[in-house]
Amino acid sequence: MENINWLALIVASLSTLVVGFIWYHPKVFGIIWMKEVGMTEEKAKTSNMALVFGLSVVLAFLVSFFLMTIVFMGGAPDHPHGVEPFMTFKHGAAHGTMLGLFVVLPVIITNGLFEQRSFKYMMIITGYWVVSFAIMGGIINGWT
């Protein structure tokens, strides 16, 4: 952990904005998501987007830091992570995907059930985070 790649963590954090731009684009899931949360274009324009994006990146940085510990410190005694041959984008993406599927998915689905959200909403949100975590893990682990 003494050789933390801060640039990789920052880029991984910023990658969530890129994924979000694509994921929530009107031609992908943006219109469906807006309908499911009751968002209108007028309401969206009243948001302080600098604050929203800024805090989103800060929070994504916290996730990237935690994800770094998962991809670098796991493994069996005879297969320690954080060394070759485990330092690949693919290996980090696998860890990010597992974190998304086994932590994020249950949390979002549980919240969605209590909030009486639609299945579409839960899948859009979960999908965004699983893809984001996979890319973040890949960047963090593959960028040595």
pLDDT digits 0-9 by tens, 25-74? 999 999 999 999 999 889 988 999 999 999 999 999 999 999 998 887 76
- Percent of the chain having pLDDT more than 90? 77
Query: 85-99, pLDDT tens digit by residue?
Result: 778 899 899 999 999
CB 30 within 8 A of CB 24: yes
Nearest-angstrom CA–CA distance, 113 and 84: 42
- The reported pTM is 0.91
Neighbours of 120 (CB within 10 A): 13
Nearest-angstrom CA–CA distance, 139 and 91: 10
Domains in the chain: boundaries: 6-142
The DSSP line for 100-112 is IIIIIHHHHHHHH
CB 70 within 8 A of CB 110: no
